[in-house]
Amino acid sequence: MLPQIAPRTDTDLRRQELADRGWTQLPGFLDKGAAEALHSTLARVVDWRFVLNHQGRHHDVHPLQVAAIDAAARDAIVSGIAAGAQCGFQYAYDNYPIGDIVAGSGELPPLIAGVHDLIAGGPFARFLRELTGDARIASADLQATRYRPGHFLTTHDDQADGKHRLYAYVLGLTKNWRPEFGGLLLLHDAAGNIERGLTPGFNVLNIFRVPHPHSVSQVASFSPGFRYSFTGWLKSGA
């Protein structure tokens, strides 16, 4: 079963929400059977990369490299991540780099390949042009993310020179989650207050305009599972 966007009757309402407040949420975004299968597929993926930033550089650590890190080096990495989060932009989570795998002629699990075709192949951008009324949307990229206990993403606004980002999206595939488990998508106002906190959900698409300050709260140590999602940006062709 290849993923498809489920038929909707609330497009006008969601378009108005996005216009009024800069974000909206679409429950039941994919057909239910495909969403269930995708959740199971992400739970079986073994090639997750641990990603973090340090001194302005992005680091992408393969699972075999993670396994080879000794206790002292692991403690140093954890301390460095904590120090970075205290004073600026910092992230630490697991990534399955779908776009890079495709660009390198690698093989994706069939269902994830189907998501790539849906989102990067054009149907997703067409749907979002209709939803937003924004004819500038030309393409979308994607990655899969997995937030385990301790993972987080501090405040940023997704603005990046030369990236042509118009909107950010998070397609949640997280089951049986409570707000206290963390991993919330936090949308900030200009004063730094939380204007909205969106709890990880299953088969829910969150979309918001770029730039918009936001963060992902740290997943709690007592979380019973992981926060799974597909994320990326809708971009102009300029």
| Mean of all residue pLDDT scores within the chain | 94
pLDDT for the residue 69: 87
The pLDDT value given to residue 133: 93
Contacts of 119 (CB under 8 A, 6+ apart): 140, 141, 142, 230, 232
pLDDT above 90 covers what percent of the chain?
87
- How remote is the C-alpha of 142 from its chain's centroid? 8
Q: What's the pTM?
A: 0.95
Tens of pLDDT, residue by residue over 120-176, are: 988 999 999 999 999 999 999 999 999 999 999 999 999 999 999 999 999 999 999
How far is Cα 238 from Cα 235, in angstroms, rounded to an integer?
9
Locate 100 and state its tokens: 């890079």
Helices 123-132 & 110-119 angle (0-180, nearest 10): 40
Residues 6+ away with beta carbon under 8 Å from 16: none
Distance between CA atoms of residues 52 and 156, nearest Å: 15
| Alpha carbons 153 and 35: distance in angstroms, whole number | 25
Determine the pLDDT at residue 130: 94
Domains and CATH numbers, the chain: 11-236 (2.60.120.620)
- The rounded distance, in Å, linking the Cα atoms of 71 and 198 is 35
CB 234 within 8 A of CB 166: yes
User: Which pLDDT score, from 0 to 100, does residue 55 have?
Assistant: 84
**For residue 88, what are its two tokens?**
């600026």
Tens-place pLDDT, residues 65-121: 888 888 898 888 889 999 999 999 999 999 999 999 999 988 999 999 999 999 998
In this prediction, residue 1 has a pLDDT band, given cuts at 50, 70 and 90, of low
Q: Which pLDDT score is estimated for 111?
A: 94
